[in-house]
Amino acid sequence: MKIGLMHFRVGETDGVSLEMKKWKLVLEKQGHDVHFIAGTLGKENGIKVPLLAYEEQRNLIIRQRAFQSLEDWSKGRLKEEIDKLANDIYNQLNEKMKNFDIVVVNNIFSLAHNLSAAIALNKYFKENNMKVIGHHHDFYWERNFYSAPTSEYVEKILENIMPPRNIKHIVINSIAQESIKNFKGVESIIVPNVFDFEAKLWKKDEYNKKILEQVGIKENDIIFLQATRVVRRKAIELAIDTLSEVQKI
């Protein structure tokens, strides 16, 4: 099958990009023709849809007006700008995406970062009778930024296509599965984030050979790594508690 893996961005070090790369490797081993589809491609090859970019300026303005303050816009102006960008995104999709059997959409249908993208994708997939899987790593209702929509139209988008109810849904853990069920009434399948334990070990090279010395790590030190951002929802205090218990051993 021809499978698309879609997100705002790929080829970077954010968690979604890294998981998408793992999905691509596994699906290709199964014999599928797999393509990244994103606004920015980083170090990867794929189909570039520029208006999906995470830092797309038109969308960042809309996002601010939709969830923080209308400022000098009216609710009518907000709807107009959302729909205009959605139409432009739809045209880019129509130009660049051809003959996919399945598209796995990462976060675009769950994070609410780009309302126009969700509208455009929902329309495009319906009109082309394309199979879609929503792969949800994050939910808008878990972030304070999205907690106070500034118009009824934004609320309608969130209710109807964040995420669409007529597609298959994948989440990364049982907490997310319970959350989407309670908040949206949606059933989902859990596909946890994974680590490839068969991958080759990293080796010292000219780039990294002095890093331990530079950060004050000795040869026989045992190192614990918390590989996430310092944000409340990551609950990094659990790592601190765990480390505290390990030091008692």
Span 230-242, mean pLDDT? 82
Span 158-184, mean pLDDT? 96
What 3-state class would DSSP assign to 35? strand
Work out the number of other CB atoms within 10 angstroms of the CB of residue 138: 17
Give the pLDDT score at 179: 96
Structural domains in the chain plus CATH codes: 2-190 (3.40.50)
Mean pLDDT of the chain: 93
How far is 175 from 150, CA to CA, in rounded Å? 29
Give the pLDDT score at 207: 85
On whether the CB atoms of residues 94 and 126 are closer than 8 A, the answer is: no
* Predicted structure pTM score: 0.86
How far is 66 from 79, CA to CA, in rounded Å? 9
How far is 213 from 75, CA to CA, in rounded Å? 56
Model confidence at 116, pLDDT cuts 50, 70, 90, reads: very high
pLDDT tens figures, 149-166: 999 999 999 999 999 999
Q: Which of 152-156, 179-183, 236-240 has the lowest mean pLDDT?
A: 236-240
Model confidence at 167, pLDDT cuts 50, 70, 90, reads: very high
Which is more confident, 121 or 201? 121
- Is it the case that residue 247 has pLDDT exceeding 90? no
- pLDDT above 70 covers what percent of the chain? 100
Give the pLDDT score at 224: 86
- The amino acid at 158: L
- Is it the case that residue 195 has pLDDT exceeding 90? no
- Is it the case that residue 147 has pLDDT exceeding 80? yes
